[in-house]
Structure 1
Amino acid sequence: MIRFFKSLIRISSFISKELTEIFRQPRLILTLVLGPFLIMFLFGLAYPDQGRTLRTTIVVADPNSFQKEIATFTESFKSSLVDYVRVSDKEQALAKLALNQTDMVIVVPLVPLETIQSNQQAEFLVYHNEVDPLQIGYIQSVARAYIDAINSQFLRSIVEQGQADSDSLQSNMKTAIVKTQALQKAIPTGDGNAQAAIIEKDLTALYEKLTTFRSLASDVMVRPFSAKIFGLSDTQLTVTGFFAPAVIVLLLQHFSITFASLSIVRETRSGIMELFRVSPITAFETLAGKYLSYLFFEIILAGIITALAVWLLKIPILGHMQDYALAVVVLLFTSLGVGFFISLISETDTQAVQYSMLLLLASIFFSGFFLDLRLMREPITVLAWSLPATYGIRMLQDIMLRGASIPLLIFLGITAIGIVLFLADWILLRKKMESQYA
């Protein structure tokens, strides 16, 4: 029994030791508890319940009366989902779509009435430049809602026109009765042929209208308009294919930040910084050497990941490889800057790893990996565009999935962040080395 109590005392000593060690690191406790909660809280605030507004360009090539009527209805379409602009040049509208200056292009059919009377649905052509399956589905649902509203409005106008025509039909029937009575009276006087010709003309017109009505298929009568949806990219992407660039970016960013964040903090705790006292090395040379060594390693790792994605998963790279390589290098450079910054402000390995994991969690939620950044509320977008992954995902999606060249503004943005981080790391490392020398 005495041995048992001694064992409990020894075990309890470890409990007090570990708890004391934990409470000696209040920054770590705050990071562990408040960090994930704050990220989830901001994520809940970032995205509204309703879908984003689509910047839509309506193409009316031949503004005849009926196309004007459709365009007028389009602009009065009671929906918070669509913001309309009317143009007449289809190629100009598609060029704006390719430059992401509009989200959707709707081409109004040229001769819709003639098409419907020939027993065919008049097709609206809808173009988009999306690669996200969720956004493609969203655009398809908006296009269907728009066409349904057009059909509903068209059928309503047909019914109203039919009711108006029924009045004229009644008057025409009365006129026909009067003419028939006049014909009976006119037969003896020799005016019968003229009256008969008028009646025959009216009956023929009525017969032709009934023939046209009966020849229309029920689908055309119920849904006279339909939509055909096209993407600017001819490549059909799977869900895996769409998320592959984002996964590559997150992996490369996390590897770079993790390796770099553990570099300087370990050297500081192990005493290697003390050895710099007897060497002529400067803070700039130290930081540049670390950048180059880790950058070389990460480039090899990026090549392996890319090769596996392309050859095993069959992920396409529609753009130029030099653009892809340049985007990856600047992503690695900026991510290393973040990692070294974490390493310079961390006191222990545990803190560095925890900061790296929080940054990974923030990148998953705010970089556009899960949800499109265009759905995000404006104040939170500042946080999103402060993450290297946000720029990397945008660049790799444009290059790999759209076949576009590297987006210049995005490239300049992440490059500027990387340079600022390098300068900040240089200043912090110089101060740390000077404090070590003191």
Structure 2
Amino acid sequence: MSDVLTPVLSANWGTERSWTLDGYRAGGGYTAIEKALKLSPDEVTTLVKDAGLRGRGGAGFPTGMKWSFVPKDNPNPKYLVVNADESEPGTCKDMPLLLASPHTLVEGMIIASYAIGCHTAFVYIRGEVLHVHRRMQAAVAEAYAAGLLGKNILGSGYDLDIIVHAGAGAYICGEETALLDSLEGRRGQPRLRPPFPAVAGLYASPTVINNVESIASVPAIVGNGAAWFSSMGTEKSKGMTLYSLSGHVRRPGQFEAPLGITLRQLLDLSGGIRTGHQLKFWTPGGSSTPILTAEHLDVPLDYEGMAGVGSMLGTKALQVFDETTSVVRTTLRWVEFYKHESCGKCTPCREGNWWMVQILKRFEAGEAEEGDVEKLLDVADNIGGKSFCALADGAVACVTSAVRHFRSEFEAGYHTPAWELFPYGRSALFAVADKSGAHA
């Protein structure tokens, strides 16, 4: 593995007015387009394949391979859709990227669209993050004014329009086919596959859907070459990525490093667990990935390393919890989120998450009965792998992994409330003033 920190996507985040066209160009922005437009679309796709870029939205599917699935003989228009509907608990990498350097995504979209033969591309952003939406719109407007979008980009004969779309706020729309339905003006619900989006996606036409970070990584690959990108990371997980560290750490934030770094290294960079406490459990990729414990501190944070210990890299959202935290309460809060965000299309997810919340509430209140742990796992078994999309699988993952690592805490819920075992004020990230003005 190369140096511990490798700022590429985040290299210009601290520069003055990095989000403007001039600020982006000052750091070499939009030079990769000139290189890409001198290559054929197939050569650009091959370059991304050779670099080993894998999707940064959670699944880790090879990006160049996904592009190559778009059928060239289909007479319908081709579309590129960038998934910026970031909303999973703990996940917070795409919004900072768009806020600090939206032109990185715009340049990546131009190159990716050229590679797949697309002339209309979309960015689907959560409507709640209005400041990010406005910043992206401003960046697109600047690109049009500079001749980087629209007709005959840089005299190449290639045309591209980018449309920034604000979603209405639904976690389910982060699922790619539900996102497409929402983009078409329908209720966001997952589609039955096949057909897959590459064949019949947006408006029943060939569509590539990629995460923000995946597309934003493309300009650096084109500008520096496939060998440069693949020199970072591990054998099967190439390149650098953004790790989002949050929770009970002294200095939370975004850390851009090669794939394969460990949580121990990231904790060293962040100053470690908050003073006087120790690590209890953590998520490698947001709440939908199975939790891990202190015994996994030295497992490489790459796709293979996480799979090897029964978890997933996901979105690299590293939520860190110390010994003051109740696993029961944390799991309940996560499952309440999934219950609320279920689109209700399929019965296992719609009903199962509701029942898991009811059972977890009994554990939290110390009112569970003997056998409720088995009942909880049985409900989870009737949800996982039996729904249209991965939302249900994510809900099940946090429950089953919590029971696997901390079963005794759940069994304590047969007689003792979680708030007595783990007073919630102790795990608060910020001091809370009581009525007298003193801090807890």
TM-score range, shorter chain: under 0.3
Whose strand proportion is higher, 1 or 2? 2
Whose helix proportion is higher, 1 or 2? 1
Query: Which entry has the higher C-alpha Rg, 1 or 2?
Result: 1
TM-score, structure 2 normalization: 0.22
TM-score, structure 1 normalization: 0.22
